[in-house]
A and B are shown apart, each in its own frame.
Chain A
Amino acid sequence: MSITQSSASLFSTTEEKEGTFNARYSLWIKEALDELPHSFTITDPFISGHPIVFASPGFLKMTGYSREEVIGRNGRAFQGPKTNRRSIMEIREAIREERPVQVSILNYRKSGSPFWMLFHMIPVFGNDDGRVIHFVAVQVPISGQKMRNGSGCSEMVFGSCRREVCLGSFVHQERALPVECDEQELENWEHCEASESEKLKSAEAVGSVLSVLTRYSEFAGRLVCGKRNCLRGADCLSSSLVISLGRIKQSFVLTNPCLPDMPIVYASDAFLTLTGYKRHEVLGQNCRFLSGVDTDSSVLYEMKECILKGQPCTVQILNYSNRKDKSTFWNLLHISPVRNASGKTAYFVGVQMEASCKDIESKELRPETRQLSVVGAVRVAVRSSFMATC
């Protein structure tokens, strides 16, 4: 089973990022989503930084940003200093665990003004491989009208400057106007409960977006759905692991020694830049495609020995790139086995560094410190990815 993933490796422009989104669905998906009245965003966990790849007109209107300012940003960009830390954690954990979440949270518009909204997010799975393809997040502004807990007005105290007004409105609760508290107050609220109708609105919006995605993915022949319908394959990494690995800005790959021919199961953006290959060209392949006629076979042998023994090693190897000039380069390569939560070796990490010239004495090779920090970061990510293979 080949691993399908967003095709382009580098996303520096809005068009490119949106392009990966379009690639998954059939034509006119954007137009169909644009027609929906709701505020929502769609993010791609397989792109480094877990950025937004689609933002609805409703979202842009609500936040005051333009499309170019939003595409490519992570959702955190809309949080601010007074956003409740616990809510942020809830969202982060839902992403990590690939499950839905609905939480009220304080966000900030482009103008800097804060507003409360009900944030409702769901994962969208590939029907055939069980992977999380996207996260869909719907935002429903909360008016704050439902600010009572019903146990008496003594516990219902607003900020002092609004005290009279709010107590006044409490008395006339049936006719309470939407509380137009000034922004200072909004930021001071510990919490702002969404009303039942606001919660219903968010569920409805999520449903609408999902059904558009489902329909257009079906047309494209690669159905997505709201529930995971099959177990993720062994060659598929969880989206949370991919998000963690996506933070590492250095060339490296993960290979799986438990699969036949030890294929690459993850390749960083920097690896693709260094080697000139596209992601879909390297995933599922053994690394030997980087070697060529003049690659020293004794070095290859040395690597193989270390892998069999489960030991780290550092070699200097001649690699053949797929860059425009098809140049070769000296690769200071550091390889190490990486264990997951079971305590057993789950992957090998290979960290590449382009070396300017060949060292004569390869026995004394030591990895650069940058390479070691990649290994460390990978170890933490893999070990903590408890939602391991299915």
Chain B
Amino acid sequence: MLKIKRVPTVVSNYQKDEASDESVGCGRNCLGACCLNGARLPLYACNKLEKSGTGEKVVISGEAREPPVAFLESLVLEEWEDRFQRGLFRYDVTACETKVIPGKYGFVAQLNEGRHLKKRPTEFRVDKVLQSFDGNKFNFTKVGQEELLFQFEAGEDCEAQFFPCMPVDAENSPSVVAINVSPIEYGHVLLIPRVLDCLPQRIDHKSLLLALHMAAEAANPYFRLGYNSLGAFATINHLHFQAYYLAMPFPLEKAPSKKMITTVSGVKISELVNYPVRSLLFEGGTSMQDLSDTVSDACVCLQNNNIPFNILISDSGRQIFLMPQCYAEKQALGEVSPELLETQVNPAVWEISGHMVLKRKEDYEGASEENAWRLLAEASLSEERFKEVNALIFEAIGCSNQEEELEGILVQPSGSVNQTGNRTLGGPITNGTASECLVLQ
């Protein structure tokens, strides 16, 4: 009894849930060696320097045209709208009712009865964060080229450049942006670094930096990138990030944070306070690369320790949230309550950030901040486990036993009552940063 208006879709064959992979000859117009020859896509090469001002100059080969909104945003939206009108999505996500749940944090709930029906089953084990790429399983070289929007590169020049029609050259190891055919929101895309290299779903320094570049290029705080590791509800074991627009803050972004340390490269690491999922927030750094490398080091550490996690890149690449989680493990051990399981909501990055896609009308009508909190709290590591994991991370990024000689601890005056210093295991002295704001009603 679907209430969603189904737009007739042009679905490439390999989107259907098929157990076996028939290697019929081509005609699929995919990204495999069979079809790649002659493939062309627009290419956006962002500038190699960090963006400082709000002005964004993009050099476009061919006639210069002033885009309606900032360039990358324009490109994403126009390509998405084009695919939208061509019926390439499984449903019209804008026809899905959505609301802000009343409460302190403003969780966002969406009623989407159609999303999970044709969902790709997860084709790998959920208890291992690191698994090898398997070409036989579904991956992004199998999608039809019509689902690809453009190539995205960290450019070599001082200016961003755009080439409306560039061959997709395997030698260049292109990274692409594709549509998500089961979108959570309008504009939901996937960033697939070095798609032809068939990297498994795991964070590496170069790829995370590319994702950060994309967030910075979009220059819109409402365009975030997200990542799910295996075991934290990634559905495809082929390296990808997700992104979409939602013009309001995520609850995760509103949570107060307490500073823990600042690394030698100036990256400030805080922990979130009063949020159902215990998370770390990374920001600052002498350069974008410093921020990216610190987070990558932390992720590699988690991966090596088989700890599933999610990442949210927020505030146009200035803030990165790292959320280790254990929901899948609890599920497997039968420790999650039946009511929560029945909602069939898996706490992946968007859910943890506060955007919940609900499959049943009753869950949507009855959506409350308490329910959302309860679900997310199940995904969180315990206080103790979180401390252990933090210690691992700090050691990996070279911060344990670091004395704060260089700058001194930064001032934390605040009016909040429960301000206590917090010593992590073997770590430096921490001090709080409550985000202070008196909101007058």
- Residues on A lying within 8 angstroms of B by beta carbon are 76, 81, 84-87, 89-90, 92-94, 96, 99-104, 146-149, 151, 155-160, 163, 188-193, 199, 244, 247-250, 312, 336, 338-339, 341-343, 369-370, 372-377, 379-381, 383-386
CB distance from B244 to the nearest CB of A (A): 9
Q: For chain B residues 6-65, which have a beta carbon within 8 Å of chain A?
A: 52, 54, 65
Structural contact, A370 and B67, CB atoms closer than 8 A: yes
Closest to B74 in A: A373
Residue B82 lies at the interface, judged by CB distance under 8 Å to chain A? yes
CB distance from B356 to the nearest CB of A (A): 15
Q: How far is the CA of A369 from the CA of B78 in the complex (A)?
A: 6
Structural contact, A341 and B98, CB atoms closer than 8 A: yes
Q: Inside 8 A of B254's CB, which chain A residues have their CB?
A: 89
Structural contact, B413 and A149, CB atoms closer than 8 A: yes
CB distance from A278 to the nearest CB of B (A): 22
Cβ-closest 4 pairs across A and B: A376-B77, A384-B247, A373-B78, A250-B68
Structural contact, B94 and A379, CB atoms closer than 8 A: yes
Apart from the given pairs A341-B97, A385-B247, 17 other A-B contacts in the complex at a CB distance below 8 Å: A89-B253, A90-B437, A99-B440, A100-B440, A102-B438, A157-B409, A157-B411, A158-B411, A191-B413, A192-B413, A193-B436, A248-B69, A372-B82, A373-B73, A373-B81, A377-B74, A379-B94
Q: Inside 8 A of A193's CB, which chain B residues have their CB?
A: 413-415, 436
Q: How far is the CA of A96 from the CA of B408 in the complex (A)?
A: 37
Structural contact, B413 and A147, CB atoms closer than 8 A: yes
Q: Inside 8 A of A372's CB, which chain B residues have their CB?
A: 77-79, 81-82, 85
Q: Inside 8 A of B67's CB, which chain A residues have their CB?
A: 370, 373
Closest to B268 in A: A190
Structural contact, B65 and A380, CB atoms closer than 8 A: no
Structural contact, B419 and A151, CB atoms closer than 8 A: yes
Q: Inside 8 A of B77's CB, which chain A residues have their CB?
A: 372-373, 375-377, 380
Residue B240 lies at the interface, judged by CB distance under 8 Å to chain A? no
Structural contact, B408 and A158, CB atoms closer than 8 A: yes
Structural contact, A103 and B407, CB atoms closer than 8 A: no
* Pairs A–B under 8 Å by Cβ, sample size 15: A85-B283, A86-B435, A89-B249, A93-B248, A148-B413, A191-B413, A193-B414, A193-B436, A341-B97, A343-B94, A343-B98, A373-B74, A377-B77, A380-B222, A384-B222
Q: Inside 8 A of A103's CB, which chain B residues have their CB?
A: 436-438
Q: Inside 8 A of B92's CB, which chain A residues have their CB?
A: 339
Q: How far is the CA of A151 from the CA of B411 in the complex (A)?
A: 13
CB distance from B283 to the nearest CB of A (A): 7
Chain A interface, DSSP helix/strand/loop, else mixed? mixed
Q: Inside 8 A of B435's CB, which chain A residues have their CB?
A: 84, 86-87, 90, 191
Structural contact, A312 and B85, CB atoms closer than 8 A: yes
- Residues on B lying within 8 angstroms of A by beta carbon are 52, 54, 65-69, 73-82, 85, 92, 94-100, 185-187, 221-222, 245-249, 253-254, 257, 259, 283, 315, 318-319, 407-415, 419, 421, 431, 433-441
Structural contact, B433 and A342, CB atoms closer than 8 A: no
Contacts A158-B411, A381-B247 hold; do A247 and B69 have CB atoms under 8 A apart? yes
Q: Inside 8 A of B441's CB, which chain A residues have their CB?
A: 99-100
Q: How far is the CA of A191 from the CA of B221 in the complex (A)?
A: 22
Residue of A190, A384, A385 with most chain B CB atoms under a 10 A cut-off: A190
Q: Inside 8 A of A100's CB, which chain B residues have their CB?
A: 439-441
Q: Inside 8 A of B436's CB, which chain A residues have their CB?
A: 103-104, 191, 193
Contacts A146-B413, A373-B77, A377-B77 hold; do A85 and B319 have CB atoms under 8 A apart? yes
Q: Inside 8 A of A375's CB, which chain B residues have their CB?
A: 77, 81
Closest to B80 in A: A376
Closest to B440 in A: A100
Q: Inside 8 A of A101's CB, which chain B residues have their CB?
A: 437, 439-440
Structural contact, B408 and A376, CB atoms closer than 8 A: no
CB distance from B99 to the nearest CB of A (A): 6
Structural contact, A370 and B68, CB atoms closer than 8 A: yes
Structural contact, A384 and B248, CB atoms closer than 8 A: yes
Q: Inside 8 A of B437's CB, which chain A residues have their CB?
A: 86-87, 90, 101-103
Closest to B259 in A: A190
Q: How far is the CA of A61 from the CA of B410 in the complex (A)?
A: 30
Residue of A85, A86, A160 with most chain B CB atoms under a 10 A cut-off: A86
Q: How far is the CA of A341 from the CA of B111 in the complex (A)?
A: 11
Structural contact, A163 and B408, CB atoms closer than 8 A: yes
Contacts A191-B414, A380-B247 hold; do A85 and B68 have CB atoms under 8 A apart? no
Closest to B70 in A: A247
Structural contact, B407 and A190, CB atoms closer than 8 A: no
Structural contact, A386 and B82, CB atoms closer than 8 A: no
Q: Inside 8 A of A376's CB, which chain B residues have their CB?
A: 76-78, 80-81, 186-187
Contacts A89-B249, A190-B259, A341-B99 hold; do A248 and B413 have CB atoms under 8 A apart? no
Q: Inside 8 A of B69's CB, which chain A residues have their CB?
A: 247-249, 373, 377
Q: Inside 8 A of B410's CB, which chain A residues have their CB?
A: 159, 188-190
Structural contact, A85 and B315, CB atoms closer than 8 A: yes
The residue from B81, B97, B411, B412 contacting A342, defined by CB atoms under 8 A apart: B97
Q: How far is the CA of A102 from the CA of B99 in the complex (A)?
A: 26
Structural contact, B68 and A343, CB atoms closer than 8 A: no
CB distance from A377 to the nearest CB of B (A): 5
Q: How far is the CA of A101 from the CA of B436 in the complex (A)?
A: 11
Q: Inside 8 A of A191's CB, which chain B residues have their CB?
A: 411-414, 433-436
Structural contact, A384 and B246, CB atoms closer than 8 A: yes
The residue from B65, B82, B186, B431 contacting A379, defined by CB atoms under 8 A apart: B186
CB distance from A142 to the nearest CB of B (A): 11
CB distance from B406 to the nearest CB of A (A): 8
Residue of B68, B96, B100 with most chain A CB atoms under a 10 A cut-off: B68
Closest to A154 in B: B421
Residue of B82, B187, B247, B414 with most chain A CB atoms under a 10 A cut-off: B247
CB distance from B308 to the nearest CB of A (A): 27
CB distance from A352 to the nearest CB of B (A): 12
